[in-house]
């Protein structure tokens, strides 16, 4: 009986052990799903972006050319004026009197000239007949020449008086937007220093945008053109677009108007200027804007989204997914940014897949499940609470 019990117990233990061995193996965790894009080479615009400041196409100070009492302002401050439009009236009375005096002096000199001419004409035939001396003849000619010179001087003084009288009506030298008056009505203006400044006029159409670019950018661009990686714009015309301070793109398309032939030794930059059409006067002188220059077309360039690039110490890393769906951390050399993307100078080839979504789940060396980046679900933003919802009383 004892042997029988021992046999039954042993069989039970064997059955128990066999039952424990039949448990299913733990399920393998699913592969991490990451969004990928396939790198492609394409032609892209070669753009430069700089910060610039607008300036009037022509900016002119309106100054008094004669001294006197400022009687009237004849324009509206801050409004457009036409070339030749009257702006100020300086008291013309003293200059009208000077003009009348100059006219009288001219008539006196002209009368003296006629008398000298008559004396010369009488003496000349007598001198030929030796009826008068050589001295008398020379004196008559000298008197006539002096009278003629006096007439010329009187005419010049008359012209000067006419000009001064005309300068009492100050007109706009150019068309543009007139600034506020620098001297109010009743002020005494002069022709020197700050006392001569009356206002300023800025021509706003077209408008200049002044900016600078670095020497290294110029060298890089020249090298790219030399190597054939960048094609300059047709006809050498470099188009310029302007982004205003509020981030809006200004509708006008301008052109590069000037680039200096020397490098500023203090800053290592080259001064440049763009000309922008501004028919509605939307841009004003002195505004800071962002200038974008279309300097050519870059051939077969590789650009990837900025979010695909991570920083690892001093290196820039891109996560590449191989044909076996394994993640590889690939160091790359980056170039210039463009429209939310960054140029990859080296480290990537066309046709490779890179991770652009789910970077935290893509550990180097691990296997992942790549899907097209556009198929990645976009998390919905939490709804904002109504602004009119009253706060709960505590």
CA gyration radius, the chain: 44
Encode pLDDT of 184-222 as tens digits: 999 999 999 889 999 999 999 999 999 999 998 899 889
CATH numeric code, 47-56+208-297: 2.40.30.170
User: Of 55, 113, 62, 59, which Cα lies nearest the Cα of 276?
Assistant: 55
Structural contact between residues 353 and 37, judged by C-beta atoms closer than 8 angstroms: yes
The CATH label, of 3.30.160.110, 1.10.287.470, 3.40.30.10, 2.40.160.40, for the domain at 92-167 is 1.10.287.470
**Token digits of residue 161:** 């008086």
Average pLDDT, rounded, for the chain: 86
CATH 2.40.128.20 fits 33-44+301-375, yes or no: no
Question: How many residues make up the chain in this entry?
Answer: 394
71: which residues sit within 8 A by CB, 6+ positions away?
89, 90, 91, 185
Looking at residue 384, its pLDDT comes to: 33
Domain boundaries of the chain, sorted by first residue: 33-44+301-375, 47-56+208-297, 92-167
Q: What does the alpha-carbon distance between residue 216 and residue 111 come to, in Å, rounded to a whole number?
A: 76
pTM of the model: 0.65
339 pLDDT band, cuts 50/70/90, is confident
Q: State in Å, rounded, how far the first CA of the chain is from the last one.
A: 81
Q: What local confidence, expressed as pLDDT, does residue 389 receive?
A: 35
Contacts of 290 (CB under 8 A, 6+ apart): 49, 50, 51, 52, 242, 243
Using alpha carbons only, what angle is made at residue 235 by residues 234 and 237, rounded to the nearest 5 degrees?
90
- Residue 376, pLDDT score: 40
- pLDDT tens digits, residue range 79-108? 999 999 999 999 999 999 999 999 999 999
Q: For 310-333, what is the mean pLDDT?
A: 90
Q: Is the dihedral of CA 217, 218, 220, 224 positive or negative?
A: positive
Give the least confident one: 1-10, 162-171, 348-357.
Answer: 1-10
């Amino acid at each position: 009986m004892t042997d029988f019990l021992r046999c039954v117990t042993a069989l039970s233990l064997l059955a128990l052990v066999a039952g424990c061995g039949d448990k299913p193996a733990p399920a393998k965790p699913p592969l991490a799903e990451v969004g990928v894009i396939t790198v492609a080479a394409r032609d892209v615009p070669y753009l430069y972006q700089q910060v610039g400041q607008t300036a009037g196409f022509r900016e002119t100070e309106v100054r008094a050319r004669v001294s006197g009492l400022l009687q009237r302002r004849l324009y509206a401050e801050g409004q457009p004026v036409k070339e030749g439009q009257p702006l100020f009236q300086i008291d013309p009375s003293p200059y009208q009197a000077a003009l009348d005096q100059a006219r009288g002096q001219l008539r006196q000199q002209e009368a003296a000239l006629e008398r000298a001419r008559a004396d010369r004409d009488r003496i000349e035939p007598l001198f030929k007949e030796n009826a008068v001396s050589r001295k008398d003849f020379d004196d008559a000619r000298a008197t006539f020449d002096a009278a003629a010179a006096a007439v010329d001087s009187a005419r010049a003084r008359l012209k000067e008086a006419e000009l001064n009288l005309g300068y009492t009506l100050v007109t706009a030298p150019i068309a543009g937007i007139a600034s506020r008056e620098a001297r109010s009505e009743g002020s005494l203006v002069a022709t020197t220093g700050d006392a001569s400044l009356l206002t300023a006029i800025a021509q706003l159409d077209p408008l200049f945008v002044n900016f600078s670019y670095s020497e290294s950018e110029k060298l890089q661009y020249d090298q790219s053109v030399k190597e054939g990686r960048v094609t300059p714009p047709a006809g050498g015309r470099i188009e310029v677009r302007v982004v205003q301070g509020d981030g809006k793109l200004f509708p006008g398309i301008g052109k590069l108007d000037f680039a200096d032939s020397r490098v500023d030794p203090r800053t290592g930059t080259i001064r440049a200027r763009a000309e922008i059409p501004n028919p509605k006067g939307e841009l004003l002188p002195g505004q800071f804007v962002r200038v974008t220059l279309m300097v050519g077309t870059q051939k077969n360039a590789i650009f990837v989204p900025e979010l695909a690039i991570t920083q690892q110490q001093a290196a820039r890393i891109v996560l590449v997914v191989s044909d076996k769906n394994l993640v590889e951390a690939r160091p790359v050399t980056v170039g210039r940014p463009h429209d939310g993307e960054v140029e990859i100078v080296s480290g990537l080839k066309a046709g490779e897949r890179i991770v652009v979504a789910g970077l935290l789940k893509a550990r180097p060396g691990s296997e992942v499940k790549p899907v097209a980046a556009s198929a990645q679900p976009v998390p919905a933003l939490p709804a904002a609470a109504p602004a009119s919802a009253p706060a709960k009383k505590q």
